[in-house]
Amino acid sequence: MRGRDILVPMSVTMDTLVSLCKRRGFVFQSSEIYGGTGSCYDYGPLGVELKQNIKRLLWRDFVQSRADMVGIDASILMHPTVWKASGHLDHFTDPMVDCRECKLRFRADHVDALPWTHYCPATKGNKFTIPAGEPCAHCGARRTLCPDCGKGQLTAPRQFNLMFKTFMGPVEEDASVAYLRPETAQAMFVNFDNVLQSMRMKLPFGIAQAGRSFRNEITPGNFIFRTREFEQMEIEYFVNPRDAVEGRPADEYWHDRWIADCMAWFRRYGLREENLKLREHDRDELSHYSKRTVDIDYRFPIGWSELMGIANRTDFDLKQHSKFSGKSLTYFDEERKEHVVPYVIEPAMGVDRALLAFMADAYVEEEVRGEKRVVLRFHPELAPVKVAVLPLLKKREEIVRAAHAIRADLAKQWRVVYDDTAAIGRLYRRQDEVGTPYCVTVDVQTVGDSEKGEAGDGKVTIRDRDSMAQARVPIDALPGVFHDLLGGGAWAQVAARLERQIQK
């Protein structure tokens, strides 16, 4: 860590992570052989496993396991009016200049066409309003400062095209302009009524979606933390604002409930308590649609930054889309016999940021017998590879054959690899560095020694990543044991149970 974050030093720097990610096939820079493409990254063989695990767990825990949640997968290109209604298009299509004093914002090409305020030095600073484009009649000066307050410097013109623009169809004309979505949320508002009708949903209920979004960020950087193409997992949870839960308005109750659930989710899969905190948005920081927003901040190698935002978007979006589309986007409240526009709570997570956080938090360096051991202590459900099958001797054909058979059998259920290209110590270290929670080692005892006429015992050694402890189990028992271990069973407990079984 450098500079401001020395108070609580991180165990890993961004440089170390970037290097590990490349060396071990997690993340590569996009188009690297051409010199790289700014702010774009590719997930490698292990990165894609990790990312898919994150998305799978989100989907399982927040969609599949809940009766009040459903998912959609919308197209990235949407009707241009969607972005008009959402407010994304309004302020960010033209070059803008800002006054550094009064903070007003002007279209750069319109500034000179505005009458301007002038404190004239030739008349002891008297204030004049001078017609557009004309110089001051007293001192001859032309406008250089803010036309409104007459005091502040204007910033250089900036093109606030935060959305990626493209064209539908082969002909580039204004009529065919389309945008790559800057957030996945809008598709869920636009499909609100479709989902409501087709699934016969009752409030409160939520729609979830995971997918790519695109923003022309002004300042991308910090590896995969802020990129212009990124992946989101968003939930729009619709509630009836007229309802009360536990004596509070439903939207406020559910907002807090989602904040707690999301925090618990990150903790469950390994982020440490001391690296997580909630951050309430100040009033002037709130987005135009938001009543209240709370971020879950994580202590990244670059310092505390947003991992997830949970906003109360009120009925802003449904009302906007109703207005622009002319379609009713309401819910019929049977009890009150009235139509209501639901409020919406929006938990929105950056999947890439979550991946970075899980990696940073999992990374540890230990000293083992005077040597450095690098370990990614991934939660087993997140680990890109669940089990590595390693022959202790690759010269013994029976051992190699048995190891391959074990890999093939376990691979029906999990991502399992085989490796025999180094001594056992090195093989373990390799798996440690990519976070494989368990290794299975096949040895002479397993298969027996035909020359000596000794029969094998059909047992293999399981080695635990974090404790480096071992337990010997029958090959037949492996699927069951890993079902327990990879499903969240603690090594110590499972190993102790194995001991008891073996003694019987």
Partner RNA sequence: GCGGCCGUAAUUCAGUGGCAGAAUGCCAGCUUCCCAAGCUGGACGUCGCCGGUUCGAAUCCGGUCGGCCGCUCCA
Q: Which of residues 210-229 bind RNA (CB under 7 A)?
A: 215, 218-223
Using CB under 7 A, count the residues that bind RNA.
67
Member of 168, 422, 492, 496 binding RNA (CB under 7 A)? 422
- Beta strands at 416-418 and 387-391: parallel, antiparallel or unpaired: parallel
- Can you name the residues that pair with 376 across neighbouring β-strands? 363
18 near RNA, judged by CB under 7 A: yes
Of residues 165 and 202, the one with the C-beta less far from RNA: 165
Strands 126-130 and 116-120: antiparallel
- List beta partners, residue 226: 221
The nearest distance, CB 30 to RNA, in angstroms, is: 9
Task: Give the Cα separation of 195 and 209 in Å (integer).
Answer: 13
Residues 196, 329: Cα–Cα separation, whole Å: 10
> Among 124, 337, 369, 412, which residue sits at the site for RNA (rule: CB under 7 A)?
369
User: Nearest 5°: phi and psi at 387?
Assistant: -140, 140
Residue 31, C-beta contacts closer than 8 angstroms, at least 6 positions apart: 37, 40
The angle formed by the CA atoms of residues 118, 123 and 129, to the nearest 5 degrees, is 25
- Closest CB to RNA among residues 221, 488: 221
29 binds RNA (CB under 7 A): yes
Q: Which pairs from 107-113 meet CB under 8 Å and 24+ separation?
A: 108/157, 111/147, 111/154, 112/143
**Residue 107 has which token pair?**
């279209």
Please report whether residue 302 would count as binding RNA according to CB under 7 A: yes
**Binding region for RNA (CB under 7 A) out of 229-237, 333-341, 364-372, 478-486:** 364-372
Can you tell me whether residue 147 is helix, strand or coil? coil
8 A C-beta contact, residue 216 and residue 164: yes
Using rule CB under 7 A, residue 321 touches RNA: no
The residue within the footprint of RNA, chosen from 56, 377, 394, 404 (CB under 7 A), is: 394
The residue within the footprint of RNA, chosen from 403, 443, 471, 481 (CB under 7 A), is 443
Interface region with RNA, contact rule CB under 7 A, candidates 243-251, 317-325, 464-472, 473-481: 464-472
> Which CB atom, from 251 or from 432, has the smaller least distance to RNA?
432
The most distant pair of C-alpha atoms in the chain lies apart, rounded to whole Å, by 113
Among left, alpha and beta (phi > 0; psi -120 to 50; other), residue 308 is: beta
User: 314 is written with which tokens?
Assistant: 């009120």
Q: Does 288 bind RNA (CB under 7 A)?
A: yes
The yes or no reply on residue 102 touching RNA (CB under 7 A) is no
Own/partner pairs for 89-93, CB < 8 Å, 24+ apart?
89/163, 89/179, 91/160, 92/160, 92/161, 92/162, 92/163, 93/160, 93/161
Verify binding: residue 9, RNA, rule CB under 7 A: no
Q: Which two tokens stand for residue 6?
A: 């020395």
Q: Tell me how far, at minimum, the Cβ of 279 lies from RNA, in Å.
A: 14
Q: Is residue 423 close enough to count as binding RNA by CB under 7 A?
A: yes
Q: Should residue 452 be labelled a site residue for RNA when binding is judged by CB under 7 A?
A: no
Instruction: Determine, following the binding rule CB under 7 A, whether residue 149 of this chain makes contact with RNA.
Output: no
Site for RNA in 59-98 (CB under 7 A): 87-88, 91-92, 98
Q: How far apart are CA 36 and CA 471, in angstroms?
A: 46
What is residue 71's three-state secondary structure?
strand
Residue 164 CB-half CA count within 13 A: 18
- Our CB check for RNA shows the closer of 193 and 432 to be 432
* Residue 230 lies near RNA (rule: CB under 7 A): no
CB 287 within 8 A of CB 293: yes
155 binds RNA (CB under 7 A): yes
Contact call for residue 182 and RNA (CB under 7 A)? yes
283 binds RNA (CB under 7 A): no
Instruction: Please name which of 413, 399, 501, 412 lies closest in space to residue 458, comparing C-alpha atoms.
Output: 399
Both tokens of 434, joined, read 């990519």
Binding of RNA at residue 425 (CB under 7 A)? yes
- Between residues 123 and 166, which has the closer beta carbon with respect to RNA? 166
- 3 is a site residue for RNA (CB under 7 A): yes
Contact segment (CB under 7 A) with RNA among 32-40, 144-152, 230-238, 320-328 equals 32-40
Smallest distance, Å, CB 250 to RNA?
Answer: 25
Tell which one of 287, 450, 493, 501 touches RNA (CB under 7 A): 287
The residue from 70, 445, 474, 497 that contacts RNA (CB under 7 A) is 445
Positions in the binding site for RNA (CB under 7 A):
2-4, 14-15, 18-19, 22-23, 29, 35-39, 87-88, 91-92, 98, 100, 155-156, 158, 162, 182-183, 215, 218-223, 287-288, 302, 368-369, 371-374, 392-395, 421-426, 428-430, 433, 441, 443-445, 460-461, 463, 468-470
